[in-house]
Amino acid sequence: MRRYGRTVVIIAVLVVLAGLALGFQTINIGNFERGSDTPLGLSLGLDLQGGSHLVYEADLRDPETNERLEVTEDQMESLKRTIERRVNSSGLGEPIIQLLDSDRLLIQLPGVTDPERAKSLIGETALLEFKHRQLAVPRDIEEITQDDVLGITVDLLADPDAATTTAAATSTPAASVKLALDWYPNANHLGLYIAQDKGYFEDENLDVELYTPVDPSTVLQTVGAGSDDFGISYQPDVLLARAQGVPVVSIVGMVQYPLNSVMALESSGITRPGDLVGKKVGYPGIPTNEPLLDTMLKFDGSQGLVDVELVNVGFNLAESLISGTVDAVVGAYWTHESILLENQGHPVNIMRMDEWGVPAYYELVLVTSEDMIDSNPKVIERFVRAIKKGYADAISDPQAGVDILVKANKDEIDEGIDRPGADLLVSAWKTADADFGQQDSARWESFVKWMQEAGLLTGELKSSEAFSNEYAK
């Protein structure tokens, strides 16, 4: 990420008391006048509702020569967006921001009559560091001199993400949140532990607790009830929970495709679902695995589950294959069990669900509650922003991410599984069609339809209410 040096932004704070504002009829800034029909449509100083106006002038310098550089439109837009987001997070509502010429912004904060409060809001918002000197406001705008200008510096103006993230830590209130994992820590969780280790949560002023529940199957219930702020679950489970009235919403598509698969030992000669006819298939007792397997069998020309013998082996999927208890298993991840079996000298053939008739779905999703969305949207925004940075790092260097995972969970990680697993997951976190976190409405709709046809869902269910792209966009 390129750093464009330290930007010096000169602020002329034009705060004129209401009584003084009545003492003159026109204030000029360039071609804009108070009281005129200019494109601004704004008054300067204090308007009749009691609000402060400030003007930012960008003074960008080359860090080596100190020569003044031209400020780009993107840099000004970056500062504008940053100010809008941070002022919004303060609860004051929308600031009114307009561009003056190519290097100045006019900001109106309706309802803020205290100049110090206005300076504090904008300063913190834009990642500004105030130089400590007094600002004297003359009677007339034309009298302002360089000595009256409050000098401020802003770092990384050219990098909107960096400016926004660092600003968040200084201008937003601290919050403590709990995230319930779907299972014990593993390669699927790299981005979370990276965000914890590298301070991305801290940058957002968040104190985050990551933990594995005693019973991970309760994640959606604890999140829906507000016991946990966030949780990791599965798209099919989210839809089932909502059908039962549990108010959970998927806000991040963590794994873009199914990891669940059917596996058989290479030595069995089973390479496709049709080869399972007349065979024993082990599964972990999870109800959704039955219609998933049924769809795969029918897609390959068989009559479905009636053609196989299902055996509930719990989570002893690998062991049941090695021992010959079953001929194949469903419910095994191609990023986990396949590696485990390979490491033990038992290579497998993998039949991925989305390649054999099952509509693509999100294996893992980050969920929160409807109440959390209504009451703390800014906390969600900050939390997701930190997670996205963590997974961007994981995608860039998954093995460095495993190092962090191991450091945080010393005796719980099987590096022989999670290191190759992390490399496989990179293509599932971010695909050619979607960046990390994004969710597709058509995919949610098609999977709702499949669940209804499979008898997993009865009645109508609005897929659009089960997920939101508001925070991962």
- What are the tens digits of pLDDT across the range 188-244? 999 999 999 999 999 999 999 999 999 999 999 999 999 999 999 999 999 999 999
Taking residues 333-356, report their average pLDDT.
Answer: 97
The packing angle between helices 415-429 and 190-197, to 10°, is 100
Closest Cα to residue 27, out of 59, 57, 56, 53? Answer: 53
96 confidence band (pLDDT: 50, 70, 90): confident
Question: In one letter, which amino acid is 83?
Answer: I
pLDDT at 1: 37
Q: How confident is the model at residue 151 (pLDDT cuts 50, 70, 90)?
A: very low
> Under DSSP, is residue 159 helix (H, G, I), strand (E, B) or coil?
coil
User: Bigger pLDDT: 126 or 228?
Assistant: 228
State the Cα–Cα distance between residues 460 and 463, nearest whole angstrom.
9
> What residues have CB less than 8 Å from 132, skipping those under 6 apart?
none
Ordered structural domains, the chain, with CATH: 6-171 (3.30.70.3400), 175-257+362-465 (3.40.190.10), 260-355 (3.40.190.10)
pLDDT reported for residue 54: 66
Tens-digit pLDDT profile for residues 58-95: 666 666 677 777 777 767 776 776 666 656 555 555 67
User: Average per-residue pLDDT in the chain?
Assistant: 79
Which pLDDT belongs to residue 173? 85
Ramachandran assignment for 93, one of left (phi > 0), alpha (psi -120 to 50 degrees), beta (any other): left
Residue 384's SS3 state is helix
Three-state secondary structure call for residue 211? strand
- Output the pLDDT for position 87: 61
What is the pLDDT, as a whole number, of residue 70? 77
Q: Which helix (H) or strand (E) holds 369?
A: strand 364-369
